[in-house]
Structure 1
Amino acid sequence: MIHPSVIKKQRIYLLSLFILLVVTTVVSMSLGYSSVSINRLIPVMLGEGTFKEEFILFSVRLPRILITLLAGMALAVSGAILQSLTRNDLADPGIIGINAGAGVAVAVFFLYFPIEAGSFVYVLPAVAFIGALVTACCIYVFSYNKYTGLQPFRLILTGVGFSMAMSGTMIFLISSADREKVDFIAKWLAGSIWGTDWPFVLALLPWLIILIPFTLYKANQLNILQLGDYTAIGVGVSIEKERIALLLAAVALAAAAVSVTGGIAFVGLMAPHIAKALVGHRSQLFLPLAVLIGGWMLLLSDTIGRNVAEPEGIAAGIVTALIGAPYFIYLLLKSD
């Protein structure tokens, strides 16, 4: 049973994070190469703005904001699942190679398959999922020992190795591609939010609507799996069944996110850690916080990136890496 004071504490943090998200969203809507002042946002939202203001807000800013929020939430939940399954605080879909696997699949699809404009947006997450799933299965196989089960530290090392191998594969693929397609893939690798239209929001949203509630429903199983295989077996949990289902959810969330945002790393690492530091390690408590923190982190990174160096800006993936790399080193040293 969770103590009422802890639940109250979680609700206070949830409310605070929600307010922070709203404030960041408002700031993000108003800032940019063509700015819309904050005092004009409400009139524009009510249909009283000029054509330019409405175009900037509804066709450019809002879909990009929603994409970054949804992708950040997906990456945060994916990272939380992976950290719980592996019992390793350093697990993250970007660090252990899942994002890179999704990227290779997206690159192959983009370079060598005929693309129909109408279906491209909706097929892309599925293609990324296949690439991420194949990579995750390979990492799992190489990290598994039939006597001791899944080895968390070995999984990290294997994942880093696969990530490097996928990066090499990506370089090989683009070495002979058209310049236009190479430019797109280069931006994708940097974590540039490229899917900024409403169809991309609609393509990403169903994955989150299904998989985030599923993960919250499985929160108790995540708690038990963190205690070790013998404890989980002792309380009657089907380890492999639960592990595979949750791993599929983590892979699908990460793949759906990076298919429209590019190679974003460290959000899935930092968001669960910050949430755990606030309310503890019980999944029922920290997962809702991690969802909001992940969405806010990516939105903030994208807002900073696109306003630091106008008009092109800096890719959100670079901003998250600048923040996340020192944090990763800190966790690595702490784990020793």
Structure 2
Amino acid sequence: MPIKLAGESLNACSGCEISILDMGGKLLTLLEFVSIVHLPLLMDSKHCDGKNNSQTVKLPKADVGLISGSIKTKEHLELARAMRDSCDLIIAFGTCATHGGIPALANSFHNDDMLGHCFNTVGTDKADSFPSDIVPEMMDACYALDEHIRVDVCLPGCPPHPDHIFRALQSIEKKESFLLPEKSVCDNCPASRDGKGRVNELKRALELPQWRVFDDTKEVFKCFLEQGFLCMGPVTRDGCGGDTEQARCIMAQVPCRGCYGPVKKEGNQRLAMLNALASNDIDISSLPETLSMLRFSGGHGLLRPLPRIKESE
């Protein structure tokens, strides 16, 4: 009997759901043992009663629930809790769900500051108030799923690789454990490393030379970090290359941006990256900012607004 699969997207871009379609031929194999009962981004399925104009969340019972996106509004929280109640297993689907993802960069600001930036633009009159009717109420921060509900399986990635999505669901069907390797992007990087860089300041990515690294010449290239380019490989979980175990950014000849989150779930990519830069004799004062080191993992309280300075009377 196929396992019943339900899915919901919260504060997300729907890229994780598109990654399901990117399985190609494996998707047909997946549908042999998975029955999708609810997945609004890929099928016409509702969670509210349209006839009675009810906003009460009603979800079908499922064996597995895929939840993509982080929690920023009261509606997101309600949906996450409804999925938890209706599904036997919950998979945090993508880095937004596992670590807050790109939306958690909002945690650097207070809600009214963000609304003011959006609605009080140059050339427009200052808004007396912000939209509140019908619009879901925002929470005080953008949260990863496990900050509010119990999560059984974490599947990071922006988006998760189709190979990992398939293997995760297949392992559930076979009642086997599913584990991603706890190693960094650097562990599978083909770059040559001397152990220490010889640059004191970081360079801009636009200064990257046009390497011909992976063509027939078998030309070897030097570690981006040792050249002085900010590469998040040392502090990022490997996996974006799927079963090929070849990081997509590195294979495209650009530094890793950190989309699979920290190597270990409780890791702090910003702190670990500052340590990596210091160990390569790179002056961290040359960084214009460090918040972007948490661009994919700012949940779990790692990003917070700066305290407001009270105006003197």
TM, length-normalised to structure 1:
0.25
Structure 1 or 2: more helix by fraction: 1
Structure 1 or 2: more strand by fraction: 2
Highest RCO, 1 vs 2 (Cα 8 Å, sep ≥ 6): 1
